[in-house]
A and B are shown apart, each in its own frame.
Chain A
Amino acid sequence: MIEIVAWICGIMLSLGAIACVIRVIKGPSILDRVLGLDVLLLIISAGLCVDMAVNRHTDYLLFVVAACTIGFVGSVTVSRYVSDKRNA
């Protein structure tokens, strides 16, 4: 049963990740790209969690905790330095 769940989750996560990559490529502004990369990191963490559940181990737990804790630093840093050049 868990194998079927793994297939379904894998397909859904892959489609979500592909959509994020398309948004990162297309994105009209750098903020859209940062948002897409943020969601991509979340999807990778979710995939690691599903892998831990399917294969019954806890090897990736530290990465998931770290990604949840400091994953916001990238988008905050990028959006901090995006400014309106006409008013600056």
Chain B
Amino acid sequence: MDMFLDILVAVLLVLGCLMSLIAGIGLLTFPDLLTRMHAATKPQVLGFLLIFAGLAIHLRSWLIVPALIVAWAMQLLTAPVSAHMIGRSGYRTKHAKKETLFSDELHQVLDEVSAAPATGPIPVAKPSRAERRQGAPGEAD
């Protein structure tokens, strides 16, 4: 049993560290900010899950499991926040190569927003209250 657990720990730790190596290689070789972000998320979730599992099994202790779960859950919660902010800034500062995208729905929305007057409201597809009142018969006065 001990031998089996040792082999399991070895496999988990090596795979978790392999995720870090993959992230480094991806950061070096991918051509674009968005593709590099894809590579950078590899150790954040799967790598830490494997390493934390290996650590808890190797120490044979339930005491550190809640702390590791908290660390992993916080990583899971905060990784999308930073990814969203980096992607947003990268798109708006033209660092993302738009010719490599397959679909670009944000472009249309940004065009509509920038076509609106600077201080006015953002145009939406829904008709405003005044237009609905004018369109309805018998409610003009």
Binding site for B on A (CB under 8 A): 1-2, 4-5, 8-9, 12-13, 15-20, 22-23, 28-29, 31-32, 34-36, 38-39, 42-43, 45-46, 49-50, 52-53, 56, 58, 61, 64-65, 68-69, 71-72, 75-76, 79-80, 82-84, 87
Contacts and interface: CB of A to CB of B under 8 A. Distances in A.
A50 B13 contact: yes
Main secondary structure of the interface of B (DSSP, over half): helix
Interface stretch (B17-25, B100-108, B131-139): B17-25
A23 to B, nearest CB: 4
Main secondary structure of the interface of A (DSSP, over half): helix
Interface string B84-120: 0110111011110000000000000000001000000
B14 interface: yes
Given A38-B40, A39-B40, A79-B86, A46 B16 contact: yes
A29 B94 CA distance: 10
A19 B20 CA distance: 10
A29 to B, nearest CB: 5
Interface in B28-45: 28, 33, 36-37, 40, 43-44
Interface centre among B24, B36, B55, B72 (most CB of A within 10 A): B24
Given A43-B43, A69-B74, A76-B85, A53 B13 contact: yes
Nearest to B86: A79
Given A9-B17, A83-B93, A68 B28 contact: no
A27 to B, nearest CB: 9
B95 A35 contact: no
A1 B10 contact: yes
In the complex, the 3 A-B pairs of residues with the closest C-beta atoms, listed nearest first: A19-B24, A16-B24, A72-B78
B11 to A, nearest CB: 9
Contacts of A2: 6, 9-10, 58
